[in-house]
């Protein structure tokens, strides 16, 4: 659900410290499981849900997941509005597409990270997928969040599929240049990624270098598992941290809640 201040203002708001995003991959779980996990994530302090990840999930599956999560959040908002002890704003958490390409879209999403994979060697991820997706997004009125996407080593599947010229942990000058370029293109958000399931996170030095560029919201993800990882990213300048594998690897909902609460605590430290 879109928060009262609007999606873009909500994302760019810096008064809340470093916030947490739960990434749900609809290609890896049913809409029902995804929804249960999204509810538990919000109860544990997550403040945005990304839907996406896999490269070959069809629209239909993505749409079912977005719709199901949105309906659940609406019900929770209503329930909270009826209870004096609950705050309905807790449930006004946006569901945003984080697409692998123009195939994974849904009108039920509140917005989309409309991305340029800036360090891709492939025209497809620089502009072609965007050309395919833009008319659809226009037609269904999905709000676009102009986002630069830069992949760091080891990069994982997205680095491979996206044909990324990976940055390494010492490439802070290059990270700064990418951030500056992103801002000059008019992107509001820069997503620094080391790959889903990666054993290495984006380095503090590179986050810090990108942070030198004012008025650019930094999302950092890939391999964040612990409170310490989250704290390091936040202290280096991340405005948002993303975790995906953490949720998928959780044994059950209680374990998931504990893991997310931990990274949320690290981010907010
Ligand atoms: C992937 O950055 C995200 O795009 C999340 O990575 O799955 O390693 O948490 P993890």
Per-residue pLDDT at 54:
67
Instruction: Please report whether residue 193 resides in a domain.
Output: no
What is the whole-number distance in angstroms between the Cα of residue 127 and the centre of ligand 1? 23
For ligand 1, atom 10, which residue shows the shortest CA distance? 196
Instruction: Identify which of 25, 113, 196, 238 to mutate to test ligand 1's pocket (most ligand atoms within 8 A of the CB).
Output: 196
CA distance 64 to 77: 20
Instruction: Please report whether residue 255 resides in a domain.
Output: yes
Looking at residues 197-208, what average pLDDT do you find?
98
Per-residue pLDDT at 57:
83
- Reading the block at residue 196, the tokens are 């889903």
What is the whole-number distance in angstroms between the Cα of residue 22 and the centre of ligand 1? 9
Instruction: Please report whether residue 91 resides in a domain.
Output: yes
Q: Which of 12-16, 44-48, 50-54 has the lowest mean pLDDT?
A: 50-54
Q: Supply the range of the domain harboring residue 113.
A: 7-148+224-268
Instruction: Please report whether residue 45 resides in a domain.
Output: yes
Instruction: Please report whether residue 50 resides in a domain.
Output: yes
C-beta 159 within 6 A of ligand 1: no
Q: Is residue 241 within 8 Å of 234, Cβ to Cβ?
A: yes
Our count of domains for the chain comes to 1
Instruction: Please report whether residue 203 resides in a domain.
Output: no
Task: Note the pTM of the prediction, 2 decimals.
Answer: 0.97
Kindly state the DSSP code that residue 142 receives in the 8-state scheme: P
**Which tens digits make up the pLDDT trace of 35-51?**
999 999 999 999 999 99
What is the whole-number distance in angstroms between the Cα of residue 245 and the centre of ligand 1? 6
CA proximity to 218, closest of 242, 195, 175, 189: 189
CA distances from 94 to 58, 159, 206 (A): 21, 26, 28
């Amino acid at each position: 659900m879109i928060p009262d201040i609007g999606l873009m203002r909500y994302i760019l708001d810096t008064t809340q410290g470093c916030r947490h995003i739960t990434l749900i991959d609809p290609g890896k779980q049913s809409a029902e499981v995804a929804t249960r996990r999204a509810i538990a994530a919000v109860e544990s302090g997550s403040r945005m849900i990304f839907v996406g990840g896999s490269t070959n999930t069809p629209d239909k599956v993505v749409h079912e997941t977005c719709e199901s999560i949105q309906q659940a959040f609406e019900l929770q908002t209503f329930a909270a509005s009826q209870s004096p002890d609950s705050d309905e704003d807790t449930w006004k958490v946006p569901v945003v597409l984080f697409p692998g390409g123009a195939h994974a879209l849904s009108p039920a999403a509140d917005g989309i990270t409309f991305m340029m994979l800036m360090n891709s060697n492939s025209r497809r991820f620089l502009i072609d997928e965007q050309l395919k997706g833009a008319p659809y997004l226009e037609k269904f009125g999905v709000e676009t969040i102009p986002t630069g996407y830069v992949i760091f080593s080891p990069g994982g599947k997205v680095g491979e599929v996206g044909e990324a010229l990976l940055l390494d942990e010492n490439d802070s000058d290059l990270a700064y240049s990418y951030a500056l370029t992103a801002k000059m293109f008019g992107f509001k958000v820069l997503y620094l990624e080391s790959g889903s399931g990666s054993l290495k996170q984006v380095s503090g030095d590179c986050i810090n270098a990108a942070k030198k560029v004012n008025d650019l919201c930094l999302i950092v993800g890939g391999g964040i598992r612990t409170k310490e990882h989250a704290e390091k990213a936040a202290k280096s300048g991340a405005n948002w941290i993303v975790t995906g594998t953490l949720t998928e690897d959780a044994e059950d909902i209680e374990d998931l809640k504990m893991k997310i609460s931990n990274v949320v605590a690290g981010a907010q430290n």
